[in-house]
Structure 1
Amino acid sequence: MSHSRKYFHKAIKLKSQGVSAIGAVGFCWGGVVVAKLAKSDDIKAAVILHPGRLADEDIHEVKVHTAVLGAEIDKTSPPEQLKQFGEILLVKSEFDSFVKIFPGVAYGWTMRYNAEDESAVKSAEEAHLDMLNWFTKYVK
């Protein structure tokens, strides 16, 4: 079973157990899985951080509140591509979207950072806070 199918089944199971709202977060390749989940009504909101091989087609089909948080230094999902994602999402008025590119950080900065580097810690914490605020706002 593919990763995305497995997560769809888990979302459906949670709903059958009385959970009324689900948010999904994906880091790296998990961003592709979350984008697939965001094509359905199974979740209320999505956050994608330093996406892996996410394509415009994945974003075109999104239909829930979606935030994309990326790094300024990222060959997999460069800032130009993230800006394109933002433009695609912006035309969809039925839900909110947010794209933020963190300056001076590299791919994976939210998970793999030097805890001794005050700037790195601050950037990671800011991204985590953005994620939590997005879910607080849209997963009710």
Structure 2
Amino acid sequence: MAGKQCCENPPTLDSSSGVGHVKEFGGLNCYITGPADSKFSVVLISDVNGYEAPNFRKLADKVAAAGFYTVVPDFFRGDPYVPENAERPISVWIKDHGPDQGFEDAKPVIEALKSNGTSKIAAAGFCWGAKVVVELAKCEYIEAGVLLHPSFVTVDDMQGVKVPLSILGAEIDQMSPPELVKQFETALNAKPEINCFVKIFPGVAHGWSVRYKEEDEHSVKSAAEAHSDMLDWFTKYLK
């Protein structure tokens, strides 16, 4: 079950943020940014706050600037989690938006990218989105994946992964505490055919990579480092 940390520091959503544009793609509204002629695509899968979070779109633009055609689908179909809605707590909201449905919805997006001329696809998932990426990685829909402060992911999931996987975790994380992330690493290391990279960021909490506050210098710096690690992983396995 999604914990309290999934709901902390919610962003103010802004559908106009970012330099890209929104259009229907693969059956979902998607924020799309980056060179349309790139053969290398990245799918970014959000946390419960959805695809309009300004920090998330800023990150999508950063990925695009590195040369990747970047797609951020609205897996929640205009219904992101709203902490202020006391009548619909996260435990109720998640029943309508399970990561299993996210995995099913991601498949047409992947197919649309392939039809669009993409030759290689990677995906990164944040909190809720990490579980979707794991499922994509089990079925080899992607060339590589990155999980950032994952939720709902299990050690058993790691045993099913079939593509290179990077896991970027937070020291202060109830959803995937460092000891669980280390278990993920052990499970991946038991599969020598699967390359992995695992890193715990000290002094930051669950969600920090996209929910950082600009005035929190340490979180901003750590988020930038995580973004750089993610881009390095994409570059290694796509280009």
TM-score by shorter chain over 0.5 = yes
Q: Deviations over 1:59-102 (max 9, x none)?
A: 11111010000000001110000000001111222231011000
| Cα distance in 1, alignment partners of residues 181 and 238 from structure 2 | 24
Q: Do the aligned residues in 2 keep the contact of 1:12 with 1:42 (CA within 8 Å)? A: no
Unmatched segments (≥5 aa) in structure 1: none
* Partner of residue 82, structure 1: 181
* Partner of residue 116, structure 2: 17
| Cα distance in 1, alignment partners of residues 174 and 101 from structure 2 | 26
Residue identity matched to 1:97: C
CA RMSD of aligned residues (A): 1.3
Unmatched segments (≥5 aa) in structure 2: 1-99
Q: How many equivalent residue pairs?
A: 140
Q: Structure 1 residues 6-15 or 82-91, which shifts more?
A: 6-15
| Cα distance in 2, alignment partners of residues 98 and 30 from structure 1 | 18
* Partner of residue 3, structure 1: 102
| Cα distance in 2, alignment partners of residues 18 and 113 from structure 1 | 35
Q: Deviations over 1:82-131 (max 9, x none)?
A: 00000111122223101100011111110111212221111010001000
The TM-score, its normalising length taken from structure 1, stands at 0.95
Q: Deviations over 1:37-63 (max 9, x none)?
A: 001222100000000111112111111
Q: Matched residues, percent identical?
A: 54
Runs of 4+ in structure 1 off by over 3 angstroms are none
The TM-score, its normalising length taken from structure 2, stands at 0.56
Q: Does 1:136 align with 2:238?
A: no
Q: Does 1:59 align with 2:158?
A: yes
Q: Structure 1 residues 114-123 or 21-30, which shifts more?
A: 114-123
